[in-house]
Structure 1
Amino acid sequence: MEITAEQQQELIRQAKDAYIKAYAPYSHYPVGAATLWSSGKIFAGCNVENASYGLTVCAERNSIFQAVSQGERRLKAVAIAVPAEHFPSPCGACRQVLREFAEDCLVILVNGQGKTRLTRLKTLLPDSFGPEFL
C-alpha cells in the first residue's frame, strides 16, 4: 500500500508535533510517531517514560495503541521523528507491534534537521512472525 506525497508530509508533520509533547525526563530523548491507517486516519503518539523503566511506552506503540482503541486494524505507514541529528529507528518491540498490523509498510525516519530516510518494515524486521502463523 503506497501513500501520497501529501499523506507522507502530514505524517512527518504530526510525528514532529508529537515529539514536542514527549515525557522523557530520564533519557532526554523525545520521540514522536504518526501512523496512517487504511481508513485514511492518522494517529500520533509520543514516548512516555516512567521511573520504573520497563513501564516506559515508545512513541510508535503509543500511536498504534491509540489507533487500535479507535477500531483501526490495517497499518499503511508510520513516521518516526526526533529532534536529534541522527535518524531514529524503532526498537525491536515496536517493530513487532508494527508487524501485528502490517506485513509490510512504509517507515519514514525523520531527524531534527528535517532530513528523511525511507525504509520498509520488511527491511527492519525480515523473516518476521505475524498473526497469520497462529
Structure 2
Amino acid sequence: MFEDGQVVPRAVLDSLLCDAAISRYIFGPDSQLINIGRTERIYPDELRRAIIARDTHCQYPGCTAPPRLCEAHHTKHWGRDHGTTDATTGVLLCWHHHIHVHTHDIDITWKTHPTETSTEKHGKRSRKNAPTGHWEFTDRNGNLIQ
C-alpha cells in the first residue's frame, strides 16, 4: 500500500519483488553457485552467467535482445508464489518483456521434448532420443504465445 492509502497493483508489486534482496547459497561440485533458494531475490553474477549461457538472449517469443539488455526473471514469482532463486527457475527477459510478463500475467515454464537424432558410425545407423528444452510462454487463458 502506498503512503496515501492507495493499493499497489499486483503487477507492480510482482515486478518490484523480482528485484528485492534476501540469503541462502548452494554450491555445485565445482564450487559454482547453483541455488540460493529464498535467501536472496536478486540473481547473483554466477547464476546470471549460467542463465545467459543457457538462454543466450531474451527468451520471449520473437525477441533476440542480447543479455546486456536483459534481466533474470523468476518463472515462479519470488514473492507471490514463494519461488526460489536458482538457474532452473530463472529465465532471461529484456526489460520490456520482463514488464510485459508481469502486467499481462504470463506464465513461463521449461518444457523438455525429446527429439529423434540419428548418427552413422562404421556404416551403421543408430537412433536415439536427445532431450531438448525451451521456455514456453502462455497467457492468463492458457493460450500459447509464439
Decide: shared fold, TM above 0.5. no
- Structure whose residues are more often strand by fraction: 2
What TM bracket, shorter-length normalisation?
under 0.3
Scaled by the length of structure 2, what TM-score is found? 0.25
- Structure whose residues are more often helix by fraction: 1
